[in-house]
Homo-oligomer: A and B are copies of this chain.
């Protein structure tokens, strides 16, 4: 029995934080830092030092008492947990404003995770390359996903094409989806799905801003 398959009951929130810790650690490393304390990580991430230590405990990493955590080691360990050894290939469907912004942002940022294909229906875009990512015709989606062994797709097509695109991706054998359209999509249970809509986030911000404002008014009227 190997020890892969450990880490399969880490809390979902811990997974997200590990990714954020690594982002912070990479930055610290690039600035020449070699060790870091839990309270330093915590303050970068706006969380508590206990939370950080608890997460690191869950992944079985120990720091040293007076120097804190070894940044390089911790980066590697987080990599062992969240990265896949062979690397995972990603496609992006819909090379419009958002698709291009995401490609630009993501390209080359992670060693074990790379966007290697884009798809679009617009003939003007097909054949172009964006930041090293070739844009193929959407009609070739299945062919290329199978040939390249692409496992994850990001959906950035117009909302009205979202569900059809999702169906085609699932049929092509995609294992994970990240849907940025405001149209929630349905996938079989064996496909892992994340959806994100900026409007939801913005409305949440607006709600809490409104709340704070009302609170202040209440205080001043008393």
Contacts and interface: CB of A to CB of B under 8 A. Distances in A.
A206 B20 CA distance: 14
A200 B151 contact: no
Contacts of A5: 214-215, 218
B152 A184 contact: no
Contacts of A209: 84, 88, 151-152, 175-176, 192
A23 B218 CA distance: 31
Interface string A10-38: 00100110011001100000000000000
A110 interface: yes
A50 interface: no
A192 B176 contact: no
Interface stretch (A58-66, A100-108, A119-127, A139-147): A100-108
B97 A203 contact: no
B101 A206 contact: no
Most buried by B among A20, A104, A184, A207: A207
Interface in A194-210: 194, 196-210
A110 B201 CA distance: 13
So how many copies of this chain end up in the complex?
A: 2
A55 interface: no
A152 B214 contact: no
A198 B186 CA distance: 21
A178 B194 contact: no
Contact of A196 (B178, B186, B196): B196
Contact of A176 (B82, B88, B205, B214): B205
20 contacts: A19-B200, A19-B204, A46-B186, A81-B207, A83-B206, A105-B198, A109-B199, A110-B203, A152-B206, A176-B205, A176-B208, A178-B198, A178-B201, A178-B205, A192-B205, A192-B208, A194-B201, A194-B204, A196-B196, A196-B201
Shortest beta-carbon contacts, A-B, top 7: A97-B101, A176-B205, A176-B209, A84-B210, A19-B203, A192-B208, A98-B101
